[in-house]
Structures are given as C-alpha cells and as structure tokens.
Amino acid sequence: MPAKPTAQGHLARLESSELRAEASRIAGFKLRKPEFGSAANISGLRDATFVFSRRLDCRTLFAADSRYGPQRKLGAWTGADKSAISTCRRILRAAGVPSAEIAKLDVVVERGRSAERVSENEFKLLEPYVLRKIVRATRAVDGIPVWKSYASLGLTGRGAVGSLEVHWPELPRSAVKEASVLQTLVKRGFKPPDIPGARLESLQAGIVHSSAIGFYMDVVAAVRAIYIGERPEVGRKPMHYFNRHGVAIAMPRDIAPRAPVDTAPRAAPKKPS
Amino acid sequence: MRYSTGGVRDYIPNGCGGPDLPATIDEVRGFQTWYSLAGHTAVTTWENGDVWGSDFRDGGDNDPSGGSELPEIYLFAGHGSCQNPPNATSPDFFIVCGNFGTPNTVNVGTQSRWGNAPGNLQFMFVDASCPMDLVSIGNNWFPVFRNLHMATGHSGTVNADALDSPDRGVNLAARTAGLPGVLAWLFPQQSVGDAWMDVGTIDIQSGCSAVAMAAGRTESEAIDRRENERISDNRPDPVPNWFAWKWRTA
C-alpha cells in the first residue's frame, strides 16, 4: 500500500516548482534534485550546492551558493563596483522590489588582515587586503526611510550570485501614512523626551519592522531619536523609537521572548577567609 | 554549547556614568531565546548590577556565580569606550555598573585573558560600542587570546558609534546558533565571522566598523577560523601564534 502523503509532501508538491523557478529567475540557481523544507513561516529548496528559501509572510528571501566566499572554490567579488551594482539592480527587479523604493545602492568592502606573534609582547602586522565586496540596498518609501529593509548581495569571483538576502516586506498603507505624519511633526519641531545623562543628537521619522530571520512581521511607524551621552567617550548611543505622542512604541518582534532565567539577585562575593 | 549573557541597561539608577541602555535587555534575552531554541544551555544570564567588572578580569572571570570564563560563549551588551579618535596605544574598555566586583571599567588589553585554564571561553561577543578599535587591536586584543577561538566587536569613534539596538546580538544568535530541524538551512546559518560582518553593521553610524577576530597556530589556521568557524564545530583550542581579523565599515 503506498505511504500516505505527509504534510511536507503536500507542501512540496504545491510549492517546489515555484521555488525552483524563483531560484533560477532571481539568483540564477539551477537546483538539481532539490530537497524541500518548510517550517514555521518559511519554505525552501536545497541541493548539494544551492539553498533558496523565502518567508511566507513577507517579501523576504535567502539564496546561497556553498562554493562562495574568500576561502572557497568560487571566491568572492573584488572587482568593479559598477557591474556589481547593476547586477544587484537586476536581481532586485526580479525579486519584485519596486525600483522607486530603492533609496541607495552602495558597495561595502570587507577587509582582512593578519599578524604573527613574534614574542610575548611583540607582533608583526601584515598588510590589509580586500576580502570581498557586498552590494547593499537601503529603502525609502515616498522619502520615508524603512530602517530594517535591505538587500545584500555577495557575488562570486566571476560575478554570479554567491549570497543574497532580500528583506523588503510589503508595508501597510496605514504605516506609511502615519510615518508621513511623523515626518511632518519632526519638521515642525517634534520634541522627544529627555534622556538622563544624554542630549539629543538626531531625529528622524520612518518605519521599523521585524528582522529577516524571525517568526513575526510587525511594522510600525516611529520617530527615531539618537542621543549622545554627556561623556561622549562612553560609547553605544541611546536610540529610542516614539509614536506621535512622544511615547515609546512597542518594538517589532522577531521571536517570542524567553522569560529571564535568573530572577533572584546575584549573591555578594564571598570574602576571602 | 554553554553560553552566558551580560546585559547592562541601568547606569543612571545605580549611580554610574550613563546614559541608560534599554535595548541591551531585549538584546541579551533575544540572544538567549535563539540559543535555547537551538538547544544550547544557559550558564548565567545576569542583567544590570548583577553584571560585574570582575567577570571580565583575569582571576575574577572564573567566579562560579557569573565569570565570563564559565561558558564557551559569552555576549556582553552595555557601554564601552570610544575615543575620538583612538590611536595605537589607546586602551579599550567595557563599562558595567555592578553591585560588586568593582571597578566597573575593564581595561581589556591589560586585564582580560580568555581561554586560559581553568577557563572555557571560546567565543567572546562584545556589543558595547568601540572596544575593538582596529588601530589598537594589537595592544588590546592579541594578549587577550589564550585559548579563546574568536572575538567580535566594533571599531569606531565618538562620531562613528554603535547605537543602542537589540538587533545585532539577537540576529547574531539567530545566525550562529544552529536552529533545529529544517530551520537550520531555511534560515541562513553562518560562521561567527560572516554572521558578525552581516549583523555587526546593523544600527551603527557611518564610519563605525564591525570587527571579527580569530587566532591560530599558523596564519592559514587563523584565517580559516575567521572565515569558517561555527560555534558548533567543536574545534580544538587554538595556539595563538597568529591572529586574523576582518571588518566591514558602515
């Protein structure tokens, strides 16, 4: 008697063809006899070389070629920025990213360096070198920044897709509208709450949403306030997100938070006897 | 693997130099959530005044109630030092606001040593502004590596700083923990170095750099760890003859 199809089996039949076609169209991946997987809010395919997956609840996809990277068979792109940027533009179009929402496409350079220990306190530094170039896209809708949306593209040495992430969720009209209101309030002198021990450094209205890796897709309009401490040499600047009333927003979720493990205060250290 | 986190939000209420950093608590708890989902075991998860400066100083770092040498993996989220600009001899500091274990400022280069017996630490994740300045990395971070495998942090200045955001630590956890079942490949699982290059540049100011560093017996081993080592590789402790680091600048 044939085995009863599993839920994964049904899903594989429903989704595999489309995933395979998207992997080919967006990333240029030709998957051979791929394995299908689906869990929580994501589905994908993989074979011995490629992985292609996409979230079910937003426009978010991941693609990777296991041979990509500075130490791997296909290497990493260190060539001209212009051709990498134009490849990224083409990929974003294939992924359904509206071109009007691409605020900026730039190239981030990853560099490396080594040093040898000559003696306990003496080291010989070698010259730095370029490991790879990554194309990063940032997003704005009607001039409003969407802070956590991005696309990141790493190309192989020959210019094929090595690693691709696109996190460009569809936005509710209400969030864009509210962000527009907040932008107007900022222009008209929105005053965020004072933070003890710090003064305001910058203020901007925009949209914040959940991360690419996570089980939620929350979208919230907010005013982002960045503060600088009274002692600037004490780093990690406070950053707060407020609604139109100057009240802290509930931040978008990624994963249901775990309750703190240690609830009792830590005991004082024992005095040496 | 066993991990610990130390997150310091409260600087002002405890009488330390501020300002407070509310996102550090979400950051360490989010880190714990992903690592727990992946089956890793929490050793200590102290917050605020229960995170002590002595936890990061050689000698105190084996304190059974919360030293950073107890687990294989430690994430610190709080304040750090940020010179303007740093030079080759500038020290790097973590800054806590502890109920005990003072002083609250830890000079990494002179006081921290990780992986030396009986310590266990293999991966030190620092999300505290700029205490891994590229210009002074030799003075401050080479001596720290005893049997430590890798460390991550930021290089920056007062004007090119990391912002108080939970996203770097939480996403580092999501990308390095090794999620269960098919989630292990549906979401990207990365080496420590690659994950930090991607997430260490979230919510940092232009000019600030995410830095990941590894040690090895040879240059090629140090580079291989920097590029490829995952927390679950179960690699042996490195002999720190060579160091290899990489960075991305926002």
Q: Please state, in angstroms and rounded to a whole number, the distance separating the CA atoms of residues A117 and A54.
A: 45
- Does residue A1 sit in helix, strand or coil? coil
Nearest to A38 by CA among A8, A69, A68, A75: A8
Cβ neighbours of A200 (radius 10 Å): 15
Nearest to B97 by CA among B68, B83, B77: B77
* Closest approach of B61 to chain A, Cα-based (Å): 13
Quick one: closest CA in B to A266, which residue? B50
Q: Please state, in angstroms and rounded to a whole number, the distance separating the CA atoms of residues B20 and A271.
A: 30
Specify the pLDDT at position A261.
67
CB pairs under 8 A between A and B: 224
* Least confidently predicted of A3-7, A15-19, B46-50, B210-214: A3-7
HSE value, Cβ hemisphere, 13 Å, CA-based, for A1: 3
- List of chain B residues whose C-beta atoms are within 8 Å of the C-beta of residue A254: 30, 170-171, 174
Quick one: closest CA in A to B46, which residue? A262
Specify the pLDDT at position A5.
66
Cβ B34–A114 below 8 Å, yes or no? no
Structural domains of chain B ordered from first start: 2-249 (3.40.50)
> Per-residue pLDDT averaged across B125-136, rounded?
93
Angle, vertex CA B24, rays to CA B18 and CA B28, nearest 5: 150
Q: Which pair of structure tokens corresponds to residue B18?
A: 């501020």
- Does residue A56 sit in helix, strand or coil? coil
B150-172 pLDDT, tens per residue? 999 999 999 999 999 999 999 99
- Does residue A46 sit in helix, strand or coil? strand
* Closest approach of A20 to chain B, Cα-based (Å): 14
Write the DSSP assignment of A137-165 as a string of letters.
EEEEETTEEBTT-EEEEEE-TTSSEEEEE
Q: Please state, in angstroms and rounded to a whole number, the distance separating the CA atoms of residues B61 and B42.
A: 17
Q: Please state, in angstroms and rounded to a whole number, the distance separating the CA atoms of residues A149 and A138.
A: 7
Place of tokens 């460390």: B151
Which helix (H) or strand (E) segment holds residue A65: the answer is strand A60-65
Structural domains of chain A ordered from first start: 10-167 (3.30.310), 173-242 (no CATH)
- List of chain A residues whose C-beta atoms are within 8 Å of the C-beta of residue B3: none
Q: Please state, in angstroms and rounded to a whole number, the distance separating the CA atoms of residues A33 and A46.
A: 9
Query: pTM for the whole thing?
Result: 0.96
- Does residue B130 sit in helix, strand or coil? coil
Let me know: does A224 contact A249? Beta carbons within 8 Å: no
Q: Which pair of structure tokens corresponds to residue A160?
A: 């094929």
Cβ B143–A121 below 8 Å, yes or no? yes
Question: Which ranges in A49-154 belong to alpha helices (H)?
Answer: 81-94
Nearest to A163 by CA among A273, A240, A51, A79: A51
Cβ B84–A251 below 8 Å, yes or no? no
Q: Which of B17, B162, B246 sits opposite A112 (nearest CB)?
A: B246
B57-106 pLDDT, tens per residue? 999 999 999 999 999 999 999 999 888 888 888 999 999 999 999 999 99
Cβ A213–B187 below 8 Å, yes or no? yes
Cβ A196–B26 below 8 Å, yes or no? no
What does the pLDDT profile of chain A (273 residues) look like in tens digits?
A: 556 668 899 999 999 999 999 999 999 999 999 999 999 999 999 999 999 999 999 999 999 999 999 989 999 999 999 999 999 999 999 999 999 999 999 999 999 999 999 987 889 999 999 999 999 999 999 999 999 999 999 999 999 999 999 999 999 999 999 999 999 999 999 999 999 999 999 999 999 999 999 999 999 999 999 999 999 889 999 999 999 999 999 999 999 987 766 678 999 987 654
Specify the pLDDT at position A1.
54
Look up residue A45 and give its amino acid. Answer: L
